[in-house]
Amino acid sequence: MKRNCFFLIFSLILLFSCGKGSNLSTWDDASVVAERSIINGDTVITCFFDQLRDTVNFPLSRIIEDLQVIQLEDSDTALVSRYHTFASENYIGIFTEQHQYKLFDKTGKFISQIGRKGQGPGEYASSIYDSQIDEANNCIYLMPWNQKKILVYNLAGDLLPDIPLYEMPPKAKFRIDSEHQTVQIGILPFPEGNNFVVWTQKFNGEIIDSVSSKPYIPEYIDFSSEVFSNRNITIFDYYLMIYGPVRQDTLYHYIQGEQGRGRLMPIYTIDFRRKDPILLWHIELPYHFITIIGEQEKINEFGQFYRPVATQFIVDKYY
């Protein structure tokens, strides 16, 4: 079944394959720009950046079944400034620039404020990096920056017992399995202080499975880097976005192993020839990969800062 990719709607209309050639009338006319190969027993799709030339008319119906525009409640308590948005079947959670997490239903009605910035119980010291709304169990989970726990509330905003984490995550994405009382974590790994890059643990903090961080720590890393896992597929996907000279950045699937010896399986990468620093990240959908390439701010001829428009392209997994 196709998934509603709420956070991507703003960009999907503009998806293209690095438009340097003439417009194409249909997706089926697009050039083949990627190939499958077997690397250490894993099937990896490699996209060749220098072959991306065609602009494609891409219908949204290929990746979504329904599109809704939801107007949020405009009362004083409901006002938000856009920052991070999280969605479930019937709810929308927004963490704002004012460090407030506000919950709305699918009609846009304000439900509650979840937690607050501070140092007390149920409060987050800084920003919320990730969130998951668990409608079936009337729970919402918040992952703060640089805190060794996941905060848990009910949908009315009442505090529930935390989930203590096995290691301190500087930045982290997670996936809750409430039926089995487990959580999968993928972090932004630093050379000191992080033994694992991804792991699975019980709600009580007991570790079940892990992958060593050593092979995945970049040569240079700071808090300007990001970790991604978008929950668009059934497997925990993992990607590190590091600002710097481009290498073959890879999107992985986290595969739990026997006796707690998990691994990251490479799935998709770019054969890239550019050497200038850029921001590059991949998003996996059930039948496609999307890659977005963004550049840091530049200065124009008038001395004004501007951010170049991001390059975006989409690759069919099964073509």
With a CB cutoff of 8 Å and minimum separation 6, the contacts of 19 are: 53, 54, 55
Task: Give yes or no for residue 319 having a pLDDT over 80.
Answer: no
Here the CATH number for the domain that contains residue 134 is 2.40.10.480
Task: Give yes or no for residue 129 having a pLDDT over 60.
Answer: yes
Total domains present in the chain? 1
Tens-digit pLDDT profile for residues 54-68: 777 777 787 888 888
Q: Is residue 192 part of a domain?
A: no
Distance between CA 212 and CA 197 in Å, rounded? 6
Q: What percent of the chain has pLDDT over 70?
A: 85
Please state the pTM of the whole predicted model: 0.84
Which pLDDT belongs to residue 17? 38
Which pLDDT belongs to residue 262? 93
Q: Is residue 133 part of a domain?
A: yes
Distance between CA 283 and CA 238 in Å, rounded? 10
pLDDT level of residue 53 (50, 70, 90 thresholds): confident
Q: 134 is in which domain, residue-wise?
A: 72-164
More confident residue, 220 or 40: 40
Q: Is residue 305 part of a domain?
A: no
Q: Is residue 85 part of a domain?
A: yes
Which pLDDT belongs to residue 21? 43
Q: Is residue 90 part of a domain?
A: yes
Which pLDDT belongs to residue 88? 93
Which pLDDT belongs to residue 307? 65
Which pLDDT belongs to residue 308? 66
Arithmetic mean of pLDDT, 160-184? 95
Q: Are strands 23-24 and 101-105 parallel, antiparallel or unpaired?
A: unpaired
More confident residue, 25 or 51: 51
Which pLDDT belongs to residue 306? 66
Tens-digit pLDDT profile for residues 98-114: 788 999 999 999 999 99
Q: Is residue 187 part of a domain?
A: no
Structure tokens at 84: 């991070």
Q: Is residue 234 part of a domain?
A: no
Distance between CA 136 and CA 216 in Å, rounded? 35
